[in-house]
Structure 1
Amino acid sequence: MREQIQNSRASVNGVFKHQVRRLRELLPPMNEAHHNMYIALRPPIMKYYSPNGSPIVGTAETILATARISDIDPVTGTPVYEGGTEIHWDTQETRHRNGKVLFVCDEGLEWEFDELTQLSPDDEPVIFPGI
């Protein structure tokens, strides 16, 4: 599995480096001000991945919410929803399993920290070398 993750990262990095080379051919040289703006605006590079190779995008959270109803069926006790849900943001709590924070990958799966793979600095994509 670790080899699959490394291979998928290598292919993504290879495609990314090709795209950067192509952009360099099409765009005028970047000066220091442009570079500083790019660094400030670029998305962060995720350093943790799930066992299936997907980047970690957040933590699992539980939030109390109230779904609006217009009636309750007197026979079944089933609510008749009218639409709309009020989210009670002050009740937000990070979910845990076995006392450990649950992290979520971009496929929506939950993982404990000790299940994650950390991207080494050598594996990080080169954005604009030499600038």
Structure 2
Amino acid sequence: MRAIDLEARVISAVDRIRTGQQVEHDLIECKRSWPQESKARQLAGSLNRAGGGDPVVYIIGIDEKTGDVHDVSGTDVVDWWGQITPKFDQIPPEMVRHISVPVGDKGEHVVAVAFAQTGRLTS
């Protein structure tokens, strides 16, 4: 997934959230804060349902119910991923791309992380 495609998908999702629409489905998850290690199972399930080619995108730093953006810059995405990967029984999914995405005129940013399936996943 190209960075520009990921950014466009995130901006579109945030715009829809801010107009009161729900955006979460098998391919997009919104997280107010960095998911805990226990969410590895949820990610594995989303990737298994997504099937072959489509990545699953986590938008981290937004509350899907209110559209409020929360500062998540205190966590490094690589460090966070290093804590999650041991929770998978087999080969973990691939973190294909991660970017910071500006989502407002107040300097707000969310973190977008795209994952791809490397095989049937379990956690």
Q: Same fold (TM over 0.5)?
A: no
Q: Which has the higher strand share?
A: 1
Rg larger in structure? 1
TM-score (norm 2): 0.30
TM normalised by structure 1 equals: 0.28
